[in-house]
Structure 1
């Protein structure tokens, strides 16, 4: 499947299927899942990066277990909206996934998602640095996925 515009994604996916949100970091992939009505995103898990094929297989296992029909990948744009090396790396990740197995993919602007989530974890949940490290990436993935779900809500 080619990368789709977010607004075209619902038509490409069977109704009643969940989506996964991904926050692609240098060492980890934060993963969040939507419910089957695509209303609510929840943090799911963290994939520690090793080799790309192993990472992809772990992601495909999650997709199969949850009957997921699409991935929403956070796109780390620069503050001026341009794409830098990290955004290009996210696009390459999606292309490489598609080479292994066709998958519906859309991108969601993730500017400031990690800092917003970190602020929430500190101010609202009062988590210390060690506890934040364990949840920040998957929570950022939920933030990204929820942003996409909210954009698509009428």
Structure 2
């Protein structure tokens, strides 16, 4: 499994943070009954899509490399360019490696870990609680929640998108 590279990806996100990126582009939004995982891509970047997603029940002493119990895992059969995936579902071109059978408890903390199609070293990580989710709101940057309008209004450079 390529999750061993997730730590490198998290390190890359931290490195980008040192270069001016304030936030990880991974987010989750929508209502608690139908959450959607998303990746905020940089304008003009091709092949920037989610390739692999894992949902974990966050462990008390969890880390980005070992977040806890794996509840759901999907992976693209080939490089798909998807920036939105419904939590618990496998879109066309993805294989379910572990189906989501657990009901998400509203007050429990969960972790999402993704790998991106554009680069095996680019990964996303965040934690969230389903009670943070509501239509028109998103959670990103490990628990930071805000309106979708405010999130979309943020400068792309906050997410590591820099123009030449």
Indicate whether the TM-score tops 0.5.
no
Q: TM-score w.r.t. structure 2 length?
A: 0.34
**Which structure has more RCO (C-alpha within 8 Å, separation ≥ 6)?**
1
More strand by share: 2
More helix by share: 1
Q: TM-score w.r.t. structure 1 length?
A: 0.35
